[in-house]
Amino acid sequence: MPTGLLRTFLLLVCLIGSARAELDPAVVDGLGASDFQRRIVAIEALALAGEEGAAVVAAIEAGEFGAYAGRAVVVRGGAVLDLASGEVLDIAPADVALLRLNNRLRRALATAKSGIALEAGSDAERLAAARTLLGDASEALLPLFERVLESEEVGAIRELVLQSAARVELGAPDPERRLQAVKRLGASADPAVIAMLRPFVSRDATGQWIEPDPTVRGTAEASIGAVERRVAFARQAATVFSGLSLGSILLLAALGLAITFGVMGVINMAHGELLMVGAYATFVVQGLFRMHLPGWFDWYVVAAIPVAFLAAAAVGMLMERSVLRFLYGRPLESLLATWGLSLVLIQTARVTFGPQNLELANPSWMSGSVELLPGLALPWNRIVILGFAVFVLALIWLTMQKTRLGLFVRAVTQNRPMAGCVGVPTARVDTLAFAIGAGVAGLGGLALSQIANVGPAMGQGYIVDSFMVVVLGGVGQLAGAVWAAFGLGVVAKFLEGWAGAVIAKILVLVFIIAFIQKRPQGLFALKGRTAD
């Protein structure tokens, strides 16, 4: 016998011997049976056999499994081995009726592979396997489900396995088994469980209870109430997180505007385009990493932070020195001038990068989500952006409160003439404050690039919201900007769930108008002798 064939033969003998030691004899008999339904059941039962079941599944998929005279056999390397005994049979491979797969057999194999992966795969593989078994659960898999529930620590997998086991038990003729299944499902937080339990508290067309046992009905009703409370909590928590996520974007967009508007009183209609500059700077950094540092691609976002800040700050400084410095104290002219600058920046972006939207890739550490509860999955990119917004806010606060530049900015904000009289270089402070505000807007564009497409008009959708945050929070007040941004984000998300996105926008705008009528200085009044 050639060496390669001998090695294959010995490997096959070991494989079959291992399978023979672990596989249930009834399963082996079923695999070799001529009855098609028995074969289906036996293949599904391979889900409980672990590695040995996986070896048989692999043989079936490879077209090496068949039957001879009612015996399950494997044909490999020119040899025919009996699955039950591991013996080499003195028959020709051509005499074996190999198993040909059809759709029903493929579904049975999928169930078997999912059951095997549920115990031996990675977290992602086990989660996918649990989802597959949820729709194909049968009573034969109950021992597998019980084993998994004893040791499973991943909440999402445990929830799916729990539902799979309960779905089988809910159809049991024994009321006690149905009762235990209903109790188990009462600990779930998945909305799908409510639909599973609803028939147990419903009547049929003749008015009779579908579930005859009153104890099971009462427990099912209590379980439905418990699940509904958890689902409601998960939805509210998801809405709050979405609001905080939106608030973090509004905060990054409005922080820079709060600085420039507070210091110079300039209504900067080009502020949204400074976000766009930061986003395009991030796109350029992504391209450089993809071309020259592919092994470090996951860190392009970190490298883009200073680039986005400096690019937007440079554009902001150019705007201030070339146009805005001549328009201080003339709000209408500054508004029109910055609107014109916004059109220039948009057209420049179209000419440089094209009119189409660009999509930036999330790094692997910002991809996916963390599932706290069924129905409550928090995306990592949103979590990172929320933390990034807090980080930027802390840096701005330290700059404003603990540095000489911050002292000058606060002095100019509160009383520009007096600050100039005591030696504060107000013109330089204006330029640096505008550069810082523009740079923070660039960081906002970096954050936006991770959750939205980058395009020439991307900043247009945030300029109005940014002004709303600044006006509601109080001109020049960082604390007011924080409260206004997160407050508007959370309120807007709750209103969207109740009245839709358009009506929510209108209601928020009406609220701000009414609030400003009663409190023109915003949430936090500006302190200083000339604040009025």
Per-residue pLDDT of the chain (532 residues; tens, 9 = 90+): 444 444 444 444 444 444 444 567 777 777 777 777 877 888 777 777 777 778 888 887 777 787 877 778 788 777 887 777 777 887 887 777 787 777 887 888 888 888 888 877 777 888 888 888 877 777 778 888 888 888 777 777 887 888 888 888 888 888 888 888 888 888 777 787 888 888 888 888 888 888 888 898 899 899 899 888 988 888 888 889 988 988 888 888 888 888 777 667 777 888 889 999 999 999 999 999 999 988 898 899 999 999 999 999 999 999 988 888 887 777 788 888 888 999 999 999 999 988 888 888 888 888 888 877 666 778 888 899 999 999 998 988 898 888 888 888 878 777 778 888 888 887 788 888 888 889 999 999 999 888 888 888 888 878 888 888 888 887 667 778 888 888 888 888 888 878 887 888 888 888 888 888 888 777 776 554 444 4
| 162 and 92 together in one domain | no
| 49 and 87 together in one domain | yes
| 9 and 50 together in one domain | yes
Last residue of a domain, one of 73, 105, 137: 105
Residue 148's contacts (CB-CB under 8 Å, 6 or more residues apart) are 118, 119, 157, 158, 161
Last residue of a domain, one of 76, 105, 134: 105
**Within a domain: 74:** yes
| 180 and 97 together in one domain | no
| 161 and 302 together in one domain | no
What pTM, to 2 d.p., does this model score?
Answer: 0.71
Range(s) of the domain holding residue 430: 238-365+378-460
| 127 and 101 together in one domain | no
**Within a domain: 117:** no
| 182 and 301 together in one domain | no
Instruction: Give the chain's domain count.
Output: 3
| 75 and 128 together in one domain | no
DSSP-derived 3-state class of residue 73: strand
Q: In the 8-state DSSP scheme, what is residue 454?
A: B
Last residue of a domain, one of 460, 495, 524: 460
Given a contact cutoff of 8 angstroms between Cβ atoms, the answer to whether 381 and 365 are in contact is no
Angstrom distances, CA of residue 200 to CA of 185, 187, 191, 447: 12, 17, 16, 48
| 432 and 325 together in one domain | yes
**Within a domain: 511:** no
Given a contact cutoff of 8 angstroms between Cβ atoms, the answer to whether 522 and 474 are in contact is yes
**Within a domain: 303:** yes
CA distance 11 to 24: 21
Q: What is the pLDDT of residue 368?
A: 81
CA 373 centroid distance within chain? 13
CA distance 359 to 353: 12
**Within a domain: 112:** no
Q: What is the pLDDT of residue 375?
A: 66
CA distance 1 to 115: 38
| 148 and 58 together in one domain | no
| 244 and 177 together in one domain | no
Given a contact cutoff of 8 angstroms between Cβ atoms, the answer to whether 241 and 378 are in contact is yes
- In the chain, count H helices and then E strands: 21, 6
CA distance 289 to 373: 36
**Within a domain: 455:** yes
**Within a domain: 349:** yes
Given a contact cutoff of 8 angstroms between Cβ atoms, the answer to whether 131 and 64 are in contact is no
Taking phi over 0 as left and psi of -120 to 50 as alpha, with beta for the rest, 121 belongs to beta
**Within a domain: 284:** yes
The full 3-state SS of 96-115, as one line of letters, equals CEECCCCHHHHHHHHHHHHH
DSSP-derived 3-state class of residue 379: strand
| 150 and 19 together in one domain | no
